[in-house]
Chain A
Amino acid sequence: MSVIVIAVATESGVPVFSRKKGTNENVQFSTIASLHGINMFSKCHNTSMVSTYIDNGAILWKEYCQSITLIGIVTGGLECDLELLLSCVHDIMIFCVGKKELEDLKNIDQVKRDLRQCYPLLDYMLESLDPNTVSSTLPTLALDLIQSILCSQAQTLQQALDHYAESVSGRWACLSIQGHLVSTSSDFHELHPRETRLLLLLTAAQDGAPLRETPVYLPQMSPNVAFRAITCKLLADVYILVVCGATPPLSQIDEIVLQCWESYAQMIKETKLVYPRNFPMSITFEPCVLGILVININNRRCVFSRHLHPPSQKGRATSGAHRMDILRTFYVTSCKELVPELKREADAKDPEPLAIMNETYWCSEYHKYHAQRSQTLLCCVLYTATVQIHTMRLISSQILQDLNTSKDVYW
């Protein structure tokens, strides 16, 4: 499998950057020019290339801000929404350099240089698409979902985060463990889910620095004015992130962090134990459940777990990473259909009443997959192959019911 993302200045045709992941060779300059040429040529004839399919893949052109054209090429049977990927790439670009600079493109060389700082984020995102590397780094399940951990401590931690955000005169703060969102300040939902994802990506791409500030442009909220994103490492793999204005200075924040979080050290350690199960212990699963992905549709958060049972029988049959890839593929290919809200507005226009999809399942040679939606929760479950379809349906709805009623679940 391979993914290539190329950015070209629309007017001038100057290549801005090209990132790739996978087995493909690097794309040559002439190829980039030809690809751009195809798009420009069809534009001259009042047509626009929406998408092109090749065997096992696709090529897509997308123009953003009327200044940058992104070209995406994906091959080799990777199931991913190329359009979504390109819009994420564009978000990252705005996140790093701001919308204004991308629109103007007066000094292309300057923009090219500035965009270099988003390479780590880009590479990180492309890398996480590859199923084979999922185990090595912090995973991305789906481009449009925020990976989270469900724990009983979330509510208490929220108070701490609120307090912390207040003391640094910011509004939005969150706590992440292993790149998973654990808890947020109460105003955090004001941020667009995609912005949240970018912030989490930022923490994840942060290579262990204890305290760091990054100027960020929030693509939806303030694409032209930069905020200050401050990430602070509390414990190994535990970060708190806050978005705030120019003050207070970093040195002062260091002290505030200590004040605010000292007393929570024990609790955070406890919370850390929830990983990698990612669900509170009060929620139990049938032995036939091999993996689960629960999605809260309203705030685009998801919880994935493949370590549902005590580690007595080590998962020899399927490696954990594989299970994750399976569930992700299932989600991207089929389950997304259950959630029309997640679709982009563009293709949501259909005057005729459509059937509401409630459940979907796959049977493969080795597993069974089942996805069921109940109001705002969608759960995709990976079962052993021996489970009957009607049993799957029962278990899945039981899980959904548990999650809806459990007191330990706090999204």
Chain B
Amino acid sequence: MNQYKRKITEESPCDSDNDWTNSSDDSKYSDSESSVPEWDSDVGEDGELVYIKLKPVEVHEENKTPLLENCETFRPRSNFKRSSTRRSTKGRIFKVLKVNKTKNTDDTSKKHLDQGTSSHNTPSTSKNYYEDNYKFIVVQVSKNMIFSSEKNCQIEKLFGISLETHSDNKTLVVVDFLTEARAIYMSKVKKGYFLYKINGIEVNSYNINSVLQRIVEDPSSPKLTFQMPTEEQNIFSIESLLVIKGAPDNTLTHVLNESMCSVLYICCNDIEYNSNDDKGVLYCYPRPFNQNFLYNTRGAYVTMNHLAPKSLGTSEPISSTILYNNILINVTYTSHYSDLLLIAFPNNDIDLFCAKKLIIEIVKLLEFLYGSLKACFTKPNNVDKLDGLFSRIFVTLLYGNNSKSNKNILVEDVLAAHSITLPLDVRVQVDDAITELEAADYREWTDDIDNFQRLYTVIGSCLYYSGHLLSSHLQDEDLKEINAFLKLNGVLNMSTVKEMEKLVMWKEVFIHEHRKQSKNDNHEYRIPDGRWFLLVVGKGHFILSTLMEAGGCTEDAIGVTPPSPFYVEECESCLELLYEIGLDKYMSSWVRSNTHPQLEIVPEYLTKYGKKIKEINSLKPESSQKSTLKISKSPLEVKKRHSSSEHVNTASNTSDNSISTYGSHHNLYSQWYNGQKYRHSNLDVSYSEDSNSLKSTSEKSEERVQGRRADRELRNRRESSGSDSDWDGQEGSRASSSIDMSDIRKSLLNEINHVTIHRITAGEENVLFHFIQLESEKGILIAPVKNIEAQSNNILYSFIIKTFRSACKKIHELLQHSIRFKRNHAPANPLNKILVAVKEYGILFQAPMEILNQCGINKKNQETFQFWVVGRVFSEPEPRELYICYHESIPQDLTEVAYLLSYLE
């Protein structure tokens, strides 16, 4: 039924600069109404769902699919066909179907296997992927050697190894070496490795005999290629952990136990303590109990937690640092009435600062998922799920970070949801799409509105791209909790590293407002006594999470509530819409553009020596690879203040001063496409007014093909020429003749090439290396894109960023005194009255000589490289912290920087 068509993928998952043909999967949508969604069989007995389908990393020839089919995928949104309509009877049928399905466990587990393999890219489907990522060992065995085999087995005779087939019945695994052969292999190959190729021919259990036959006939010495088993990577793969329904793998548990991560929940009141077999321990992971160091030493923490407030009159303990087996471990405390939750992290991976922040997030997450800590750990038959959750949390935190340079978890990830500043018009489009989803125009969904009550009200949603928050329409607390959910479960990380074909997650949650409310009843504006569900839908690098409410005006959700296919599709269509406006391509180039605001990612250029290099580079344009730098040289193009909105427009190179909010994004390229302007804005407005109004686009579908083709050609040309300047300017306007400019989806795409570079530091040169703006109340921080360090690929820059991050932690802790004081004028514990007044803290660093030498800055120069890390708190109206890192040469005023940054927002 689901004839899923391979999409044309041109590039690796990281830069999803794909053709927009892969936006929708029409064959599915055109299915008949009775279709069952592909994730249906994965819905658990409790109605929860985690469905992941990753995009296989493959290289396909372009244009393999007929052009006409590509065309079809361009069907505008108004033609988006639903496989399900909102009919409550149908929903019930679904439920029945589901119960049947889940009973048939065989079926489910089988599906699981399929899915597992699809997400792990079996060698047969993606050869290239493997060759890039896994280590191969080649061993040449002399033809003259014949090993004595007891079993008279050909393989043993020839190579001196005994093989077995892997559980997949295909791969050949080395189980043992014959004594004579041990010397040949032992240094390189170990038991458990896969035999991958013989003489360059891929072998498996089916063809091994015929291959061996050939080897025997072939006089030359055979060459064996072994492959290291990928198990180690697989146990950490978050996608398999997410999908898993039972307890996590034993190996993983063991690894986590070794790594000194641990969680323990103890109830300390007498009744439960005595009735419980494990002396009050309600939950412990990783198990077994007696191997868990936290379990073994729990007495110390329980006493501590009891003693500090009762006998010493201090607050409850926050954290203890302990030394165990020469490993420094941070144990953090959270008490819940008389109960105590302990979470331990190894200090090497997660320092005290992060550990303290993380336990707050974990507690938030547990409350969000279960209502309260107590409910979380006392819920019957919940141990497997908790094991799964904590294994994901630990794996994400300890092994989730792929970059080798900084193993530690980044300060940006710990403080809040990492957001980036997009240009206003892009944000408007994104918000628009989400708002449409949230509005949930019921009339559009069903003809029979009188008889069918809606199932859910959408109370908010947020959109992520590669782990960056693009937009949030949630309440602050909800956003914090959803962010914690996505982050700690590794979903954000997965969406950064891998490209998803489809992700659907459905979970019942307990929203903050509801949890808080139940304590003080009879409020006039109560939220309804309903149930809340979190629906996470992902595609490509996008993740859209929607919070839904059942209660109040909707149908009541009773019993097990599986996801409604209708709402899932609704979210999917919202993502489709974003793909249609080209946001995926826009974002992938945006993430690489470094313009908003621009950072100096080649710090050497700020030294005297570097300036010379820069000059030399600029003389021969071919050698300058970074377009951003080149652009920055021409001062005309650099706008210090953001002008895409109605705000201050200092640089006057844009001809128009139109103040209309909607017109603004056209302004940016109106100089190139003057003639088309009217149609453009017209379309834009109509689109925003009415979701069905993209008709003018559909009328032009033939031209669009042309447009696409032209676009591809243009891109090819750009790639072949190697220079970046031809992509904008004159070339662009020439191309415009062939591109149909009324195509709204092109708008974003084009803009990235004409985007103005924004600087937020004063002075002639850009001295900004990095910044973080934190709004802790909102749970949002704005910082440059996560891969900025990789973009720079520069030792000095990495060093600066590393220093910046560690300094930020220090500054952040100091500034908390002021924030806490302002928040609460009579704090329970007296604060240091001096620290309370501090609102700015700056540190001047000097890069050590060895780093400078490595960067090739001349030793003779003896030039020092100094940079500031400054943090400041702005307490009105809500505390907002700004941290910037800049070169010492130009003094900066943080208030001014914050002001300029606010225009980018």
Contacts and interface: CB of A to CB of B under 8 A. Distances in A.
Majority DSSP secondary structure for residues of B touching A: mixed
B375 interface: no
B304 A55 contact: no
Contacts of B293: 45, 47
Interface in B800-840: 803, 810, 814, 817, 829-835, 837-840
B835 A50 contact: no
A31 interface: yes
Interface residues of A, number: 59
Contacts of B659: none
B848 A49 contact: no
B317 A365 contact: no
A325 B297 contact: no
A386 interface: no
B374 to A, nearest CB: 23
A380 to B, nearest CB: 13
Given A51-B321, A55-B314, A366 B830 contact: no
Contacts of B866: 358
B199 to A, nearest CB: 45
A77 B297 contact: no
Given A42-B300, A75-B829, A353-B850, A326 B834 contact: yes
A364 B318 CA distance: 28
Interface residues of B, number: 55
Contacts of B803: 355
A362 to B, nearest CB: 5
Contacts of B307: 31, 34-35, 38
B322 interface: yes
Contacts of B817: 77
B848 A353 contact: yes
A174 B185 CA distance: 74
Interface string B350-363: 00100000000000
A333 B832 CA distance: 12
B669 interface: no
A245 B275 CA distance: 68
Interface in B283-328: 293, 296-297, 299-300, 303-304, 307-308, 311-325, 328
B439 interface: no
A41 B841 contact: no
B844 interface: yes
A1 B837 CA distance: 18
A110 B891 CA distance: 63
Interface string A27-63: 1101100110110011001111111111111010000
B829 A359 contact: no
B891 A77 contact: no
A75 B315 CA distance: 9
B646 to A, nearest CB: 33
Contacts, number: 171
Nearest to B329: A47
Q: Which of B304, B799, B834 has the most CB of A within 10 A?
A: B834
B315 A47 contact: no
A297 interface: no
Interface string B700-720: 000000000000000000000
Q: Which of A38, A330, A355 has the most CB of B within 10 A?
A: A355
A65 interface: no
B838 A390 contact: no
Contacts of A49: 300, 320-322
Interface in B843-859: 843-848, 850-851
A24 interface: yes
Nearest to A30: B311
Given A49-B320, A358-B846, A364-B834, 13 more contacts: A38-B303, A41-B299, A47-B297, A50-B321, A50-B328, A51-B320, A55-B318, A59-B312, A75-B312, A337-B843, A355-B848, A356-B846, A364-B839
Interface of A: 1, 4, 24-25, 27-28, 30-31, 34-35, 37-38, 41-42, 45-57, 59, 73, 75-79, 131, 325-326, 329-330, 333-334, 337, 353-367, 389-390
22 contacts: A27-B312, A38-B300, A42-B297, A42-B322, A45-B297, A46-B324, A47-B323, A48-B322, A48-B323, A49-B300, A52-B304, A52-B317, A53-B318, A53-B319, A54-B308, A55-B318, A76-B830, A77-B817, A77-B829, A356-B845, A357-B846, A390-B891
